[in-house]
Chain A
């Protein structure tokens, strides 16, 4: 018996190579010595068992494009760059220190840029077919407007709140309309919108007791509307710890969705705006309570490394950025005023905290500081929950598998509360718990601290 395989050599289509702008670094790609120690840390490899869905496989694909053996038009390349959660668990375990996030984001940018070129002139060489019109329009609205203009974002959030409160949501869910248009899963992720939004207008909240630090808080996009309550808790906890808290005006979204989604220029625009907004405040730290935003803010200097006017300013900004847990665990943390919370908690580590920022001990230290709280570690606590920004929309199946895996692990601990520190994770977990009609709550660590302080205050 003979085997016939398609002969690739006879098919002569020119390859679409990496272009010079935002090209993934060959040096970083070649730092990978193919040892494979990243494999077991990768959520998509754990789910599929396939090499191409592993960090090593994806780097090998990037290397193939870099060396001209395959091109950007490769379906496998595009699919894998999209399937990656950018959770960066691989980066944390890589012995050679491969900066995976940087080359992944650059690879995504390469694909988007080639599509943009294709949209402008489909006949030009080295282009990819543009995204369908509706996708381009959606990306334009989301990346170009909604997440760039916080006023628009708040208006959108208010509309969503109206949808939830007016009964429209009830009708949409019951009628099956959502399933009909394939939005049921995505819709379930829609958070209950907080009634009050956090609008940064230059407010200054005084420290409780002696003022030890002055900090500024980045309020961001979804955190300032859907999770405005978490901001309020964060501010109160910081005040309890001798911090004067400033919400500088003119700040916006951190740009994580843009940089992760291949719109590096959109991300840069937001970065510049935020740098300008926080410059000159003279604060001790720029505190952020969302893991994904924190890692983005800390990487502004990399994002703007080719921009001579902004690179230094970005580096100075990034040096001041502190995740709220990192910050609190690094100061004389106020344990005296913490009240008892008799609750069993398991901790779901946001990838951009554990892997991108390597912050793993501090959140646990804070949780265990709460009297009465029992921390029950879950299996695979550092494996991505499948949220990963817009991943629920781009890779719904994988997102659902990882969400279910995470919730299985969390429920196995018997905890009543899943603590986390990132909006994406919170939505993903709450959505999966709601699907299963589970009573278990999802709470931010700062919310638990806030509650503990309040009880302490009463006691």
Chain B
């Protein structure tokens, strides 16, 4: 296609006003805030709608040109610069806030919506989009998503990925694809999670459904001044260790103070060494001052010589404006800077500061330290003059040394800005060759022709398509010959992505294998397996052979053996509710229970790394000994391994307060299909160093790899906890009460709705046809007391028959019992169904479920996360009726999961209606596991055209 033809076509699609073709004008797109200058694009286009964006991509791809998406160009890693020219696609004009749904706490926004504008629109509703990158005044939601942006308030609220429910993406063929419909806990791979942070290489993000968070009722901001940066870092480390969860802990050294002092009228001392720590706490009003005072006491002990509160909203706004302007204000100190963005475990902060100071002296450079200290996210900015080659070289050498040091300390090379161009050559320091190959494999699923933002993230010499091909060759060359290979031969592995099949019939029938050695119950060479793990750890149970490896190495050897032998594997623990594997292939069962060691636990970091076979109960005991916890309350925690919980994406009633496993899994060690051991993520709380593959594994049901180890964020045990129970005559009253709770700035940590037949074990009473609410609050005793008072008032206002406040043993007993109601029933004749809906639609969804149950004469008991939109239904009655009930829910509500392995075999859609992105999920599965040996048959839908998503 001629350039002029392409330009004419683009103008036809988006209009002449939105196409830039003058070479002088195109030059303005050759750099972003990194100041790394690339090529000017061949043409720039600013579509106004997702459809226009899709058409522009289609035209660019058919012209053989790459597409580079750009939001506001505020990134500092060179993510938005066109390395190879092509079409620059600016999202700036897709700036519509299409819908705000306060009750569901979500908003549908265009990729070009400016973060601060969205927040300005939300504030009058008492809501916020929590990620607040320093660039938020100009940066766009699309850009925030692409880099998984952080920000000062992410310490409490989490980074961007924790606030994205679904996103719309332009695919290489110029079609638009939603990664989901935003319903919580929808089944299937978490495409949303893996696209967030992919830096524009997975397609152009055009719209997103983002999660909204209530604004806090009150907050406090204090500026603490320390004599040096090490003292400030030590204070931060101790504040985190002490267990209070501040909203922000931001450090700014004397250079940072110097850059912003005058412009923002802060009037802070600028003497060498002086370091500012900005502390913010928020929540309900009561208990806030006490919490703050405890933090300030720790600061004083570390030598803080001045504590200056910012009392009025205007003062606070000025402090935050100044903090967020530092990078931009560097222009007052030097013509350029190199921003390092590493993350280390929080206890290593003082050490890192000492090392940076040493490096600064060694290289004779000026460094400005301004960073998200609470997250362990360092931002030393190395100041230099780019016109001086010597300075430039020293700046890069210093930055490189900080990166290496961070990796040595268990950290990562980017926490929130991404790899882009600036850090691409450092990626191999962090990732092993086969880990790079895995990242590349996922890249090729989204970006098969290298048409989106090419040349980024991966080192220049390691092209992702080569890496992915190497991985296919690696797995293909060692794969054993099972019947499955009849249609997936290793020589054809380069093209298996589209040819793979994942229905249960694809499992290998190993018994048919000609010339098989002496076989065990599965047709497997039991002796060879025993040689790996010891004879005592291979057991036959009827037709099933199970093996219990004792270490990650043994697990890897077992998987490698099976790969060579053409045997499918199925990881399992004693319980994995929701694991619906119904494989006809009789895979080797790998019991992970013996993998139960602690890998890394420094309590003050508030993270832990353990092997995947550790049970939840064992983990909780370990954490409890250090005053910590994982806020996941499940039935029979002694039987649930962490690997299984991650694989099934378990949730607990405390999700309104703390989130779900998806939010806490920082890193995983997995054994890939051929036995290669790969680490995904790391044991630090922020990470944008390569793709967020951890998200793909959470809820993947063992179909992508065997989870061998889990690294988690953990939480301090709350100072106080209490639960208010309220019984209602009618369910609508309880739902109205939930609406009222959602409409306040209270922060309950759980809001469970219980309805259905009353059982003796439940230490509660509510009338038949009525409902019970259990509302929990945790934190400072005064804050808990304020919650209980307020919640009591709301319950009374909604017409509660009786209200009771529970604490200590009564409270624990209640939550143990409620956890049982969300677990598969033990008695025969009953099944568990999980129903997921947007929170605002939960009431209607439950009504539908009741009607469908009633018409089939099924008994229905339910337990719903009332603020989150996830309900667990206990259905009792004839098997056919239960199956039919589930099918009806799928038809009417899409997201109904039949968590009953025996029944699920017969269900048309045990995981709900097929998702619109099913083809992409299949492609990912095939790329991870080209021979379909990882828990074959689990999770997936039978082949059929996915139903289009209704808006």
Contact = CB atoms under 8 A, between A and B. Distances in A.
A37 B117 CA distance: 13
A31 B259 CA distance: 12
Interface stretch (A70-78, A118-126, A277-285): A70-78
B698 interface: no
Interface residues of A, number: 42
A3 B2 CA distance: 5
B28 A96 contact: no
Contacts of A36: 32-33, 72-74, 135, 138-139
A97 B331 contact: yes
Contact of B46 (A49, A60, A61): A49
A401 to B, nearest CB: 11
B32 A95 contact: no
Contacts of B421: none
A34 B116 contact: no
Given A52-B25, A95-B331, A3 B6 contact: yes
B773 to A, nearest CB: 39
B263 A97 contact: yes
Interface stretch (B272-280, B322-330, B357-365, B879-887): B322-330
Contacts of A51: 28-29, 44, 73, 90
Interface stretch (A4-12, A100-108, A262-270): A4-12
A36 B25 CA distance: 17
A37 B138 contact: yes
A69 interface: yes
Contacts of A344: none
Contacts of B329: 95-97
Contact of A35 (B1, B74, B114, B260): B74
A97 B332 contact: yes
A121 B46 CA distance: 41
Given A36-B72, A52-B20, A97-B263, A31 B331 contact: yes
A215 interface: no
Interface in B20-79: 20, 22-25, 27-29, 31-33, 35, 42, 44, 46, 62-65, 72-74
A3 B22 contact: no
A61 B95 CA distance: 26
A60 B331 CA distance: 15
Nearest to A3: B3
A37 B20 contact: no
A292 B138 CA distance: 27
Given A36-B32, A51-B73, A95-B325, A3 B20 contact: no
Contact of B328 (A5, A30, A60, A94): A94
A149 B61 CA distance: 61
Contacts of A371: none
A37 B325 contact: yes
Nearest to B70: A51
Contacts of A4: 2-3
B448 interface: no
B73 A32 contact: no
B63 to A, nearest CB: 6
A88 to B, nearest CB: 15
A359 B65 CA distance: 48
A193 B218 CA distance: 53
Contacts of B330: 33, 96
B46 A50 contact: yes
A95 B263 contact: yes
A34 B386 CA distance: 14
Given A33-B330, A40-B117, A93 B137 contact: yes
What interface size band does chain B fall in? 35 or more
Nearest to B260: A95
Contact of B137 (A2, A40, A98): A40
Contacts of A50: 18, 20, 25, 44, 46, 90, 92
A246 interface: no
A5 B87 CA distance: 13
B137 A37 contact: yes
Contacts of A95: 259-260, 263, 325-329, 331
A49 B27 contact: no
A49 B89 CA distance: 11
Interface string A16-53: 00000000000000111111111111000100111110
Contacts of B35: 33-34
A16 to B, nearest CB: 13
B17 interface: yes
Contacts of B336: 33
Contacts of A40: 72, 114, 116-117, 137-138
Residue of B27, B42, B325 with highest tally of chain A CB at under 10 A: B27
A48 B14 CA distance: 12
A456 interface: no
Contacts of A440: none
A1 interface: yes
B379 to A, nearest CB: 14
Given A3-B42, A49-B46, A33 B24 contact: no
A200 interface: no
A31 B28 contact: no
A77 B24 contact: yes
B855 to A, nearest CB: 49
A91 B6 CA distance: 37
A409 to B, nearest CB: 13
B410 interface: no
A48 B263 CA distance: 29
Contacts of B17: 48
A173 B542 CA distance: 97
A33 B2 CA distance: 36
Given A93-B137, A95-B260, A75 B27 contact: no
Given A3-B3, A5-B42, A40-B117, A52 B331 contact: no
A70 B24 contact: yes
A32 B325 CA distance: 13
A64 interface: yes
A57 interface: yes
Contacts of A38: 138
A69 B24 CA distance: 9
B2 A76 contact: no
Contacts of A74: 24
Interface string B1-22: 1110010000000000110101
B337 interface: yes
Nearest to B112: A49
Contacts of B564: none
Given A36-B72, A37-B137, A61 B28 contact: yes
Contacts of A64: 24, 27
A3 B138 contact: no
B331 A33 contact: yes
A2 B95 CA distance: 33
A57 B329 CA distance: 18
A94 B90 CA distance: 22
Nearest to A35: B328
Nearest to A64: B27
A93 B322 CA distance: 11
B93 interface: yes
Contacts of B335: 30, 33
Q: Which 10 A-B pairs have the closest CB atoms?
A: A96-B331, A95-B328, A49-B92, A95-B325, A35-B328, A95-B329, A49-B93, A76-B24, A57-B28, A36-B74
7 contacts: A3-B42, A6-B3, A35-B328, A36-B139, A51-B73, A60-B27, A97-B331
Given A33-B336, A49-B90, A56-B28, 17 more contacts: A2-B64, A3-B6, A4-B2, A5-B42, A31-B332, A33-B35, A33-B337, A35-B327, A36-B73, A37-B138, A50-B18, A56-B73, A61-B27, A64-B24, A64-B27, A97-B331, A98-B331
Interface of B: 1-3, 6, 17-18, 20, 22-25, 27-29, 31-33, 35, 42, 44, 46, 62-65, 72-74, 90, 92-93, 95, 112, 114, 116-117, 135, 137-139, 259-260, 263, 325-332, 335-337
Interface of A: 1-6, 8, 30-41, 45, 48-52, 56-57, 60-61, 64, 69-70, 74-77, 93-98
